[in-house]
Structure 1
Amino acid sequence: MGAAAGGKLLATSDLHVAHPDNRKIVEELRPETDEDWLLVAGDVAEKVADVEWALGLLAERFATVVWVPGNHELWTPKADPVTLRGEQRYRYLVATCRRLGVLTPEDPFRVWRGAGGPVVIAPLFVLYDYTFRPEGTRTKEEALARAYDAGVVCTDEFLLHPDPHPSRDAWCRARVKESERRLAELDGDLPAILVNHWPLVREPTRILRYPEFAQWCGTELTADWHRRYRCAAVVYGHLHIPRTTYHDGVRFEEVSVGYPREWRKRGLPRGTLRQILPCGENR
């Protein structure tokens, strides 16, 4: 199903609905028209029930919802009745989305035919492999040691299990391979919008307050994807630094809401929904 000319392609991420104030934000999210699509670039919540609630609500309101997993959805917190880990947890979330009518990285790519289109929407699940290393480190082990010494360690190290893969970076490499296989099948006549939770290039991480955290933010294996796959835009989250940047002339949109302590401090000057297409002012 395509979009009519009056619709908008919108995006958001890092909704973190376990926080009551963020849950309220989601409760108030609504499209401007019945033809609007919504891209959700991960980190909806940690518990499966919260993810299902939020995506189900959004699927009732928007013509099409596309979701990609973030690291928080892949955690296995002790408080969650769903105790699945790693690949099994991801597949369970995919099955939940399909029941809700939400598109995932495992579904056929859809074409946005509204204003600014036609454009292929390509949701991705690509993790990180510790190659965004702090300056002066040469290996994953050195990078992790630097992070532990600085007291800057991602909770993924304790809650994001890669089963049955031997490590998170091995899972990342498997996902890169699978994503490249699917992206190679793109219609070369149409531009694409890539949607991934983690940034596909390292540059956006250069402004992190704690540079040691960058190693949990992506992989160098995706550094040329925005050029290789003729991208009209790249949508991502994870950094909690909402902004628009350009890399090799391609627009990158970090669309996160973030935690209440963050958006209360900086406000939500660009709103909770970023307009991807047609290009123009965001609400």
Structure 2
Amino acid sequence: MTHGKLLALSDQHVAHAENRRITESLRPESEDDWLLVAGDVGEKFEDIAWALKLLSERFSQVVWAPGNHELWTPPSDPVTLRGVARYEALVEMCRGLGVLTPEDPYPVWHGGEAPVTVAPLFVLYDYSFFAPGTGTKEESLRVAHQSGVVCTDEFLLHPDPYPSRDAWCRARVTLTEERLAAVDPRYGTVLVNHYPLVREPTRVLRHPEFAQWCGTELTADWHRRFRAVTVVYGHLHIPRVTAHDGVRFEEVSIGYPREWRSRPSRSPLRQILPRPASGHAG
């Protein structure tokens, strides 16, 4: 057993100077600390590489799951790869830094009372978190466009070579289910995904139409099926802890400066395990 901690954060958005400074300030409490990064490090390839390199040099192990922003192809980015090719290039970049990705064997963390398998996931969304009053993807998207609440993914996140983002999502769900089913049943899991695996955390969104870009109903039972001790996610920019079927769900995002400036000051790093004595779900 090591004496380190399993720490987590997401949604660093390092293109913002203030967020870049936050990333520069991040340091472990011990040489054995691991860091889980649940996506949205940045948009440009060089920014993502800068941040993950910095963190990989400081933490004993960095584990990364991609967010939607990493998968964007911004017009200003010299790296013009799209879709699966962009994701694969990010995976190769991470491997060069020693950062674990959803394509690598899931590591086992031994720092708590019992070993846990840490599983970084890449599962997208399939628009099945329908907007209120709608029952199909088409209706839900139409309501979103009418209300002016449309995720930038519709313009910058390309699913190539898949015909759609939801088709890419379904392929990732199938692949990921197979890998999670093969995890040693002796171990509980810490599931790390950019999006919440259940819809409930999206119910507090100011614009409920946005939920359709926040996950898929296909993962709704994964925390039970795959023995999750904790589910770590981001994307919503609503940092908090909730419980679903007795499992802790930790939203660990930093978010944009305009968002975190209005919150009480806190460490950007969330301790996942060992569970803090003062931790609570709410």
What is the TM-score of this pair, normalised by structure 1?
0.97
Tell me if 1:120 matches 2:114: no
Tell me the distance in 1 between the aligned counterparts of 2:170 and 2:136. Answer: 16
CA contact (8 A) 1:116 1:279 kept: no
2:260 paired residue number: 263
1:272 paired residue number: 268
Q: CA deviation at 1:268?
A: 3.6
1:105–1:166: structure 2 CA closer, same or farther, 3 Å change rule? same
One-letter amino acid matched to 1:23:
R
Q: CA deviation at 1:117?
A: 3.2
2:13 paired residue number: 16
Tell me if 1:56 matches 2:53: yes
One-letter amino acid matched to 1:162:
P
Point out the more displaced range, 26-35 or 115-124: 115-124
Determine what percentage of the aligned residue pairs are the same residue. Answer: 70
Q: Deviations over 1:103-151 (max 9, x none)?
A: 0000000000012430000010000000001121011110000001111
Tell me the distance in 1 between the aligned counterparts of 2:113 and 2:70. Answer: 31
1:162 paired residue number: 159
Tell me the distance in 1 between the aligned counterparts of 2:156 and 2:180. Answer: 30
> Once superposed, what is the RMSD of the aligned Cα atoms?
0.9
Q: Where do 1:175-186 residues align within 5 Å? A: 175-186=172-183
1:69 paired residue number: 66
Point out the more displaced range, 112-121 or 190-199: 112-121
1:250 paired residue number: 247
Q: Deviations over 1:179-204 (max 9, x none)?
A: 00100111111100100000000000
Q: Where do 1:88-127 residues align within 5 Å? A: 88-127=85-124
Tell me the distance in 2 between the aligned counterparts of 1:202 and 1:48. Answer: 30
| One of 21, 25, 50 as aligned partner of 2:22 | 25
Q: CA deviation at 1:267?
A: 3.6
| One of 213, 224, 228 as aligned partner of 2:225 | 228
Q: Deviations over 1:79-121 (max 9, x none)?
A: 1000000000000000000000000000000000012430000
One-letter amino acid matched to 1:177:
T
Tell me the distance in 2 between the aligned counterparts of 1:137 and 1:125. Answer: 27
Aligned residue for 1:261, secondary structure, equals: helix
CA contact (8 A) 1:116 1:277 kept: no
Point out the more displaced range, 94-103 or 273-282: 273-282
1:204 paired residue number: 201
Tell me the distance in 2 between the aligned counterparts of 1:233 and 1:27. Answer: 27
Tell me the distance in 1 between the aligned counterparts of 2:192 and 2:113. Answer: 17
Tell me the distance in 1 between the aligned counterparts of 2:163 and 2:171. Answer: 11
| One of 170, 173, 176 as aligned partner of 2:170 | 173
CA contact (8 A) 1:234 1:251 kept: yes
Q: Deviations over 1:210-241 (max 9, x none)?
A: 00000000000000000000110000000000
Aligned residue for 1:253, secondary structure, equals: strand
Aligned residue for 1:147, secondary structure, equals: helix
1:140 paired residue number: 137
